[in-house]
Amino acid sequence: MTKELQDFLDYLKNQRNYSQDTIASYTYDIEKFYTYINHEGILLDDVTSDIIRNFLSIELTHHIKKVSCQRRIASLRHFYNYLLETNVVKNNPFTLIDGPKKERRLPEVLFKEQIHLLFEANKQRNDELAPRDQAILELLYASGLRASELVNLLISSVDYRNRVVRIFGKERKERMVPFSKECQQCLDNYVKNIRPTLLNKNIEFAKEKHLFLNANGRKLTSRGLEYILKQIEIKCALPFALHPHMLRHSFATHLLSGGADLRLIQELLGHENINTTSIYTHVTNESVKRDFLNAHPRAKKH
């Protein structure tokens, strides 16, 4: 890793308060570009628009998704802005570069009936980790948390009396998000009856302050959360292809279809830009269309 890149990553961590996951993405994207220009014998200050376009062409040839290419360009644009401000380079060649247009994919969501089926099916489990998993499901859906936000929650972040949770999202931006009474009961059951048992499995981590723990009593990770959701699906025999963002998307979509204001949903999700939140209007429109085609006698296929 070059000094310029290390300085930039330190800047993201210490001054911008970026999460470890975000910093890891920046590292991967920028090192990918470094590999390309080093192979071509190109210096940072010699990068041009043509060189960038050639880099993107190679990425697409290797079947890298357009959305990943978009992210690479955004990471490198930010990196070069930093290099420009610190007088490492004389210009930012990424300023006028747009990544390949990505296909607009609507978020995957569960129907309300599927959410109910999932929660009820998980309640029927009688293994040790079932209450923890139920608390995770309830909180993801009740508050629309990102995976990274859930795994980094501290016990002190949860206000049980007022049923709100204190979240530090992207760039450590704080927000308060409410949760349901059902979620409150599940969290209370997990904290009082399951978490102490998990904590005792690893004395080294006996003072662990994070809310959710894995089966070994350690802090849960984003990868671990994905594994838990897959196991829930297997144990409940439900073909939903569960992942953390599916419950976040379902939370937002169901709020919108229930009449919640888009600005409120933006605040609850922690979106900086309302345009990011507006994609859920397309999801609900698609749902309306689908319900219409299924229900209207003149719309059905014969």
Annotated active-site residue in 32, 66, 170, 219: 170
Annotated active-site residue in 26, 80, 141, 280: 280
Is 245 tagged catalytic? Answer: yes
Is 132 tagged catalytic? Answer: no
Structure tokens, 243: 């992942």
- Angle (nearest 5°) at CA 39 between 34 and 40: 100
d(CA 191, CA 292): 44
Sign of CA dihedral 182, 268, 168, 78: positive
Annotated active-site residue in 72, 78, 249, 271: 271
Torsion, Cα of 17, 22, 24, 27 (10° steps)? -90
Is 227 tagged catalytic? Answer: no
Annotated active-site residue in 72, 132, 146, 249: 146
Place of tokens 């919108």: 256
State the amino acid at position 281 in one-letter form: T
Is 290 tagged catalytic? Answer: no
Using CA atoms, how far residue 104 sits from 11, 67, 101, 130, 276, in Å, is 32, 10, 9, 36, 12
Is 39 tagged catalytic? Answer: no
Annotated active-site residue in 77, 132, 195, 248: 248
Distance of CA 18 to the CA centre of its chain: 14
d(CA 119, CA 280): 23
Distance of CA 179 to the CA centre of its chain: 19
Is 280 tagged catalytic? Answer: yes
Structure tokens, 146: 């990102």
Residues with catalytic roles: 146, 170, 245, 248, 271, 280
